[in-house]
Amino acid sequence: MSMTIWIWVLVGLGSVAVVLAVLMTRPSRTSRAGSYPAPQTGSGQPPPVGQPLGTGQPAAAGPDPIGVAAAAPAMPLEHRMKPYDALRDCRVWFDDRALRWSLRASSRMIHITMGTGEIPLSQITGIRLVDIQQGAQPQLNPNIQVPPGPAVAVATPQGEACFAAENPQLLAAQLGARLRALGVPGWTG
């Protein structure tokens, strides 16, 4: 073979090595549960549904995620939700104006939004943790049922919306802290 062919072979192998190195060292997309990691319990398991966070267990190092929600009311806080059937990219987030969600079917290159919504913070009248049972799932958007398991129910004068966040206790605590910090009228949580 000529020298030019060997040079192109080495350039190709070098490119493959760089791509593999980048893929192996970048942070995982699934490591983000909410805006901050959940506090660690002694057993390595999340606290049971209905139990408040920080029940005498050592907390994760870093800023208090609930305190951040109250101290910086304009800062958007995002939480990943459990997959809704074929919808793998499901998120709920809030700022100082509204609670919003997006349900998307996605792959590496294609993102199709299947459902979105928004609740103004001034419309929220309560927040509670619920356990959604199989077969009794409420709908978040038309034809999209909330998956069974722990979830956060957000009450409004029009009804309740349920969000199956990966860490429902953190979502409920942060949203409650944000509503109290903003002094949202009529909120009783």
And the tokens for 77?
Answer: 């806080």
* Integer Cα distance of 188 and 127 in angstroms: 9
Q: What is the DSSP letter of 97?
A: S
Q: Report the sign of the C-alpha dihedral through residues 62, 68, 69, 70, in that order.
A: positive
Give the domains, in start order, of the chain with CATH numbers: 70-182 (2.30.29.30)
And the tokens for 4?
Answer: 């030019």
The pLDDT of residue 43 is above 50: no
Percent of the chain with pLDDT over 70: 71
More confident residue, 106 or 158: 158
Residue 172 CA, chain-centre distance (Å), reads: 12
The pLDDT of residue 40 is above 80: no
* Residue 15 pLDDT grade (very low, low, confident, very high; cuts 50, 70, 90): confident
Q: Name the helix (H) or strand (E) containing 115.
A: strand 111-120
Q: Which of 37-46, 58-67, 110-119 is predicted least confidently?
A: 37-46
What pLDDT sits at residue 39?
A: 40
Amino acid in the structure at residue 21: A
